[in-house]
Structure 1
Amino acid sequence: MQTNRRNFLLAGSAMMATTAATTIGASGQSLAGENRQSNHQVNVSWLGGATMLIDFNGYRILTDPAFGEGEKAYFMGDPNTMFDLAKGPTSRYHARTTPFPGLDISSVDLMMISHMHEDHFDQHAEKTLPKSLLTIVPPADRQKLATKGFENQIALDWGKSKTINTPNGQIMLTALPAHHSANPQINKILGKGNGYWIRFSAGDWRKDIYWTGDTLPTDQVMSTLKLLGKPDILIPHMGAVGTTGPLGQISMGADQVLFMAKTLDNPNILPIHHSTYPLYLEPISRLVEKVDFASTRLDLLAEGSTIMYG
């Protein structure tokens, strides 16, 4: 099966027209506050899909940028429909069911990409983001990102780390295995993406976030996590994507997230990658129904909302 692994779900040449601007979003509102935080805390704003703005004492990280709205939010193959695996799915426009909350691009210091399927890096983001933005990227996507003009990259392979000194602390980023599927052949088709362990520290203060990327809790993923210990916050990609197509499930559902959380000694769960697009098949209500609130804290954000971890 000789399919271009990263382009399997990506659009070919279709681009959406958008005007570059400092502030994105129909409302023109920015989620970035006027005053940067001076105390030690991590603020996570969920902007829909896998897009977050993470603020650590004023240093801001943007994840998996997807800014498109409406019926033609982004252009990509559809993993939820039946197709010939040897040829790949037919690319089409995908809808976004919610408005993009808005983002002050000038406030972003670093971009992190789990992988470049276009529900994670869409055409609007490509057109709008400054090409000079420092970006953490999986090695498999380095060339793809460079062809779009983003050359200020740090490629992190599994097990590799990068430490960033900020004005008010330090951030250590470690790339972790992310398996779209439990089937190795499907993983080869879809390409090698990253999860990330993000350690924020300032003096004796520390906060650990595990951002899963698009992964299932495979043996390799879980054995790697056990070596790292318990994160304070688990940020899983959900939606049970692909369950109606030939790829099978390629993002976690509620049962898998709860299994992962239990194995990690029940950190706070902050679910993303749900509800924003019809692409995501499993409703977030499934997780709410299954959580044992006696042992597990579920931090369920509305799009455009922010939670503070001190």
Structure 2
Amino acid sequence: MAGVLSRLLPPRRDPRWPRDFHHRRTSDLLSPRQAYELLRAFPPRAERDGSGVPVVDALPLPAAGPGEISVTWLGHASTLLRVDGVTLLVDPVLAGGIPGASTRLRPSPVTPEELPPVDAVLLSHDHYDHLDAPTLRRLPRSTRVLAGGGSRPLLARLGFTDVTELDWWESVEVGGGRGEVTVEFVPAHHWSRRTLLDTCRRLWGGWVVTGSDGRSVVHAGDTGYGPFPARIGARQRDLGHDLAVAVLPIGAYAPRHLLRGVHMDPAEAVRAAGDLGVRHVVPIHWGTFVLSGEPVTEPRERVLAEWVRAGRDLADLWDLPIGGTRAL
């Protein structure tokens, strides 16, 4: 009987992980009054217009094989990375709205069922705009999932049987017959929560994926600005890696005094690119949901201006439409 129950119940939290990760936070959480202030700052419904956000069909995907890095933006933070023949799906939110933002401003360019075979799903953290249960339930339960420490019980409840939990700076190999890459979990200035009772129970972070040729792509997940990009860039150089592409969030930053600690604004994203030492940047985390006070298309307009102001070549800013792909 005990054996049957153990198979029916999700696994207990790994004793390797602390009860929570509050000690990893780099900013204070919003008080109830500040959370109300944030909600009050949202644009009026009449101004929540996604018509200025470009969308294209994601399929068919351009070919990407060994020796290539390909980035497809699927809206918000959802990204398909293909590195050295390995396909990775990051923070997929493809099934519709989310709690707090019940309507997408622009449609998903692909359904979960239309995705190519995925070697692993990478989850930066557990917020609903990054870990979307309705999307995950439409993926094969045998899909390998990588996430921060403390995430296994939640993902087991969703039916996933191959879950790897990582601490910051830990890495694993991912791949199969098409190739193999190194995937490292890296720090972010953020936090985690899905309910009132699980604040910071699961570790948050970003991802660095490195192919056999030493070229890497970083997906920063959700993060405020701080010293981590410089540390990530320095670590990659110490490992002999060439950090070639960065997928960086640019939206959900206003009011600034409330969100500075957990979300970069466009100017900070450009600074982070310099800190990382990366040439090509894909701006994400804008144009899909209303989660803060800035106008819908302002993040894109500002990041283009800040990129030019920093003296960088506009050709290196991969300003993708939702569904768009760029490759090295």
Same fold, TM-score > 0.5, yes or no: yes
Alignment of 1:1-310 (within 5 A): 31=59, 33=61, 37-69=64-96, 73-75=97-99, 92-103=100-111, 104-105=114-115, 107-180=117-190, 189-190=199-200, 192-201=203-212, 205-229=213-237, 231-241=243-253, 243=255, 249-279=261-291, 281=294, 283-292=299-308, 294-296=311-313, 297-309=316-328
Assess, with a 3 A threshold, how the Cα gap between structure 1 residues 242 and 157 changes in structure 2: closer, same or farther: farther
Structure 1 residues 37 and 291 mapped into 2: Cα distance closer, same or farther (>3 Å)? closer
- Preserved contact between residue 93 and residue 135 of structure 2 (Cα < 8 Å): yes
Q: What corresponds to 2:51 in structure 1?
A: none
| CA 106–221 in structure 1, closer or farther in 2 if over 3 Å, else same | closer
Q: TM-score by structure 2 length? A: 0.69
Which amino acid letter does the alignment assign opposite residue 308 of structure 1? A
- Per-residue CA deviations over 1:187-211 (Å, capped at 9, x if unaligned) read x95553011111012xxx3421111
Query: How many residues matched?
Result: 258
| CA distance in structure 1 between the aligned counterparts of 2:210 and 2:278, rounded to whole angstroms | 18
Q: Quick check: 1:243–1:250 contact (8 Å CA) kept in 2?
A: no
Q: CA deviation at 1:138?
A: 0.7
Q: Who is 2:17 aligned against?
A: none
How far off its partner does 1:247 sit?
A: 5.9
Equivalent pair of 1:210/1:231 in contact (CA under 8 Å): yes
Kept after mapping to 2: 8 A contact 1:180/1:216: yes
Q: Following TM superposition, by how much is the alpha carbon of 1:240 offset from its aligned partner in structure 2, in angstroms?
A: 3.4
Partner SS, residue 150 of structure 2: helix
* Structure 2 spans left out of the alignment, 5+ residues: 1-19, 23-28, 31-56, 192-197
Cα–Cα, structure 1 residues 308 and 246, in superposed 2: closer, same or farther, change >3 Å? Answer: closer
Greater fraction strand: 1
The 2-side partners of 1:249 and 1:228 are apart by 24
- Note closer, same or farther for the CA distance 1:55–1:266 as it changes in structure 2 (3 Å cut): closer
Compared with structure 1, are the counterparts of its residues 36 and 290 closer, same or farther at alpha carbon in structure 2 (3 Å cutoff)? closer
TM-score (ref. length: structure 1): 0.73
Q: Are 1:269 and 1:298, in contact at CA under 8 Å, matched by a contact in 2?
A: yes
Greater CA deviation, 144-153 or 287-296? 287-296
Change (3 A) 1:32 1:154: farther
Provide the C-alpha distance between the structure 1 equivalents of 2:134 and 2:257, rounded to a whole number of angstroms: 27
Aligned-pair CA distance for 1:127: 2.9
Tell me the SS of whatever aligns to 2:109: coil
Asked if the contact 1:242/1:249 (under 8 Å) is kept, the reply is: no
Is the 1:178–1:192 Cα contact (8 Å) retained in structure 2? no
Q: Is the 8 A contact 2:58 2:323 kept in 1?
A: no
Return the offset for 1:301.
0.3
Indicate conservation of the 8 Å contact 2:216/2:244, yes or no.
yes
Deviations 1:17-64 (A, max 9, x none): xxxxxxxxxxxx76354x964452122111101111122354321110
Q: Tell me, yes or no, if the aligned pair for 1:114 and 1:213 is still in contact at 8 Å.
A: yes
Q: Residue 241 of structure 1 contacts residue 249 of structure 1 at CA under 8 Å; is this kept in 2?
A: no
More divergent stretch after superposition (51-60 vs 216-225): 216-225
TM-aligned CA deviation for residue 178 of structure 1: 1.1
Structure 1 residues 254 and 242 mapped into 2: Cα distance closer, same or farther (>3 Å)? closer
Helix, strand or coil: the match of 1:283?
helix
